[in-house]
Amino acid sequence: MTLVLGIETSCDETAVALVDDARKIRAERVLSQTREHAPYGGIVPEIAARSHLAHLEDLVRGTLADAACGWETIDAIAATTGPGLIGGVIVGATFAKGAALARGLPFVSVNHLEGHALSARLSDDVPFPFLLLLVSGGHCQLLAVEDVGRYRRFGTTLDDAVGEAFDKVAKLVGLGYPGGPAIEKLAREGDARRFDLPRPLSGRPGCDFSFAGLKTAVRQIVDRLGTPDARAKADIAASFQAAVADSLADRTANAARRFVREFPSGRHLVVAGGVAANQALRGRLQRVAADAGLTLVAPPLRLCTDNAAMIAWAGLERFARGNRSPLDTACRPRWPLEELAGATS
């Protein structure tokens, strides 16, 4: 049995997990910083890094205690080394490297996006290859996942990430931060047909996304209404969410048709990342997958948002393939998945 300790500090969650190669999460702890960032309407990198530094050691101790494990039972330590807010990434990676050196354990560098990409293999043992829709606060991509470290990008956002668009629209209508859950909750009370919002790029060839125009259209509605009342806010939330779901479904359908042609053995469409927690989006993607002859897999909600279990699992998959990372591995604020090709040894 191989047991890997995973550390994730790329954004505003400090997370630690122990995962084994039987796909069991032995223990995990996640400390959210939502309250610390809420007054600013978004994440403040300096506050995030200081919070990681203040709490990470205690979370590691607590996770080991929860699993009744000692350091001697751990086979490797995996940590996010990018992409993300570089201050936070450095905190987690430096702790992991120091612990690996002190305990004589292998260190495995993990790309945060690969953690999301492989999360469905932890939860559902999805075989390669599969089509991935990665949707989060900082990323919106469609990729063919051929193996660990082998990713072929079909499309990406030309401007804003979809999670960022959720946050900005939530701020426009006074819902605060984080925007995704707030928009989804309010949308249940609204009429998605009230406001005719654009579906950027829909109906066009290709698999790229665009959300800047949609965000601008919402701002124009808010400006026209002045201060929206409760009913208008709910209708804006519902209309925006429907437009996002339509746009993502349209672009994913193009990618699914391409994936089926290029990877005839592939059987799954995976949606991962924080926005994958949105139930309306999952419903639309279910139909897209069925139309393409694919099975939709969406990891459990706790594996969609940033977490260390996915980092531990990605580290375990790499470790099982003989991958070890030097302790001078650099942290990177930007690190496209396509650059991982050939990174496994």
pLDDT band at 166 (very low <50, low <70, confident <90, very high): very high
**286, 295 contact by CB (below 8 A):** no
Structure confidence at residue 139 (pLDDT)? 86
| pLDDT reading at 344 higher than 50 | no
What is the Cα Rg of the chain in Å? 20
For residue 182, the one-letter residue type is A
Structure confidence at residue 140 (pLDDT)? 94
pLDDT band at 40 (very low <50, low <70, confident <90, very high): confident
Segments in the chain forming alpha helices (H): 34-37, 45-66, 86-103, 112-124, 162-172, 179-187, 212-225, 230-262, 279-291, 301-304, 308-320
The pLDDT tens digits for 294-303 are: 999 999 999 9
Structure confidence at residue 38 (pLDDT)? 81
Alpha-carbon span 78 to 340, nearest angstrom: 16
Which of 118, 143, 269, 265 is CA-nearest to residue 209?
143
For residue 131, the one-letter residue type is L
Structure confidence at residue 152 (pLDDT)? 95
Cα–Cα distance list, 46 to 10, 21, 37, 332 (Å): 12, 35, 11, 17
293 burial (CB, 10 Å; 0-12 / 13-18 / 19+) is exposed
The pLDDT tens digits for 178-196 are: 889 999 999 999 999 999 9
Q: What is the mean pLDDT of the chain?
A: 95
| pLDDT reading at 137 higher than 60 | yes
**40, 343 contact by CB (below 8 A):** no
The pLDDT tens digits for 51-79 are: 999 999 999 999 999 999 999 999 999 99
Alpha-carbon span 160 to 212, nearest angstrom: 6
pTM, to two decimals: 0.94
Residue ranges of domains in the chain, CATH in brackets: 3-117+303-340 (3.30.420.40), 128-299 (3.30.420.40)
Structure confidence at residue 178 (pLDDT)? 81
Distance of CA 104 to the CA centre of its chain: 31
The pLDDT tens digits for 88-132 are: 999 999 999 999 999 999 999 999 999 999 999 999 999 999 999
The pLDDT tens digits for 146-164 are: 999 999 999 999 999 999 9
78: β partners: 6, 108
| pLDDT reading at 225 higher than 60 | yes
Percent of the chain with pLDDT over 70: 99
pLDDT band at 343 (very low <50, low <70, confident <90, very high): very low
Range 270-296 average pLDDT = 95
Structure confidence at residue 341 (pLDDT)? 59
